[in-house]
Structures are given as C-alpha cells and as structure tokens.
Amino acid sequence: MNISRRDLFSKSFMAVGCSTVGTFASSPVKAEAMKETKRFFKLYPVGRVERQGKLVQLHIFDEFRDALKGLDSFSHAFVLYWFHKNDTPKKRNILQVYPRGNKKNPLTGVFACRAPVRPNLIALSLCKILSVKNGIVRIDKIDALNESPVLDIKPYIPRIDSIAKGAWIPDWLKG
C-alpha cells in the first residue's frame, strides 16, 4: 500500500494517498485484477479540529475561509475529517470489527458500522453550528480528536439529508 503523508504542521497542510478498496483484496487473484483499477487521490485538509475542554471548534485555514460564507445560515453541518491517529497499513486492512468494540455485537464489515479503522479513514459527524466567525466554526460536539484534519464541511439540508419513513437499523444498534 502506498501512503504518502506530509507533516501536518508544515504549512498546516497534509496530503494523503488514498486507494480504492480493491487494494485490500484478500486473494492474490483479486489483488492482481484490482491493480488495474487502483487510483490515488490527494486530499488537502481545509482546517483542523480544536478542542479545549468543552469548547469544540473547527479552525479553517486562511486560504479556505471564503468557503465559509453563508454557512452561518444553517443550524447543522456534516463535517468530514480524517482518523489521523489510525493511519497505519495494518489498521487500513481491518475490514471487519465488533461494533463499538463489544464482542457481544456480531462481527460486522466496516462499511456497515462507524469504526475508526477502515480502508480510507474518512470520518463523518453531524454537528450543530454555534457560530461562524473569522475562520472559526464553533460546534456543539464532534467525534474527533484534537488536531484531526478537517477535509470538508457540508450543510445539513433536512429535505435532502433526512429520511422520514422507511429507515431501519440492525438489532445490535437498537440497544
């Protein structure tokens, strides 16, 4: 697996080589077939998560501050960030886990749960926006560690992002 990473603190930027799931094929035949479709992407964080006690904010880098215009007119936003503390080849190869680390839960594929180990360590949290000012987005909470790289912010739009009827979840998640 080819993962390139620049130091997060050098110019407050990081580039990460991300590969498609096919890179982690379990059989040599599948792995060989997937080599042709392997693609890499460079992701550039737009900011970082900052935690100080109960205060949680997204510090958006200067070059991306113009992208915040109008975000304060939304109550909530999806924040996509990188599970930077789990970025190892070994953890990227974990494809099944016991959700929430509980062995009473059924062994589940990482695409069917929100485990922080996965082929591409992209995380998603729906956050309440408290304020947007001077490149700082104050939020109520986020399931991210301090200094987690923020990849993107997308406004929550109820008529698009909410399912009123027909949604279901597995039994292990109901308790």
Residue 13 forms part of a structural domain = no
- Percent of the chain topping pLDDT 90: 63
**What would the DSSP string read from start to end of 131-148?**
EEETTEEEES--S--TTP
Q: Is residue 164 part of a domain?
A: no
On the question of pLDDT at 33 being above 70, the answer is no
Residue 40 in domain:
no
Q: What residues make up the domain containing 84? A: 45-159
50: domain CATH number is 2.40.30.70
* 135 assigned to some structural domain: yes
pLDDT tens-place string over residues 73-122: 999 999 999 999 989 999 999 999 999 889 999 999 999 999 999 999 99
- In this predicted structure, the answer to whether residue 7 has a pLDDT above a threshold of 90 is no
User: Tell me, what amino acid is at 48?
Assistant: R
**pLDDT 10s digits, 60-76:** 999 999 999 999 999 99
Q: Is residue 17 part of a domain?
A: no
| pLDDT beyond 80 at 32 | no
Q: Is the pLDDT of residue 40 over 60?
A: yes
Mean pLDDT, the chain, as a whole number? 82
pLDDT higher than threshold 70 for residue 26 = no
Q: Say if 29 falls within a structural domain.
A: no
Maximum C-alpha span of the chain: 52
- Buried b or exposed e, range 6-32, using 16+ CB within 10 angstroms: eebeeeeebebebbeebbbeeeeeeee
Identify whether the C-beta of residue 57 lies closer than 8 Å to the C-beta of residue 28.
no
The reply to whether 25 falls in a domain is no
Question: What letter represents residue 174's amino acid?
Answer: K
Q: Looking at the 3D structure of the chain, how many domains does it have?
A: 1
Please check whether residue 39 lies inside any domain of the structure. no
Share of the chain above pLDDT 70, in %: 78
pLDDT at 9 over 60: no
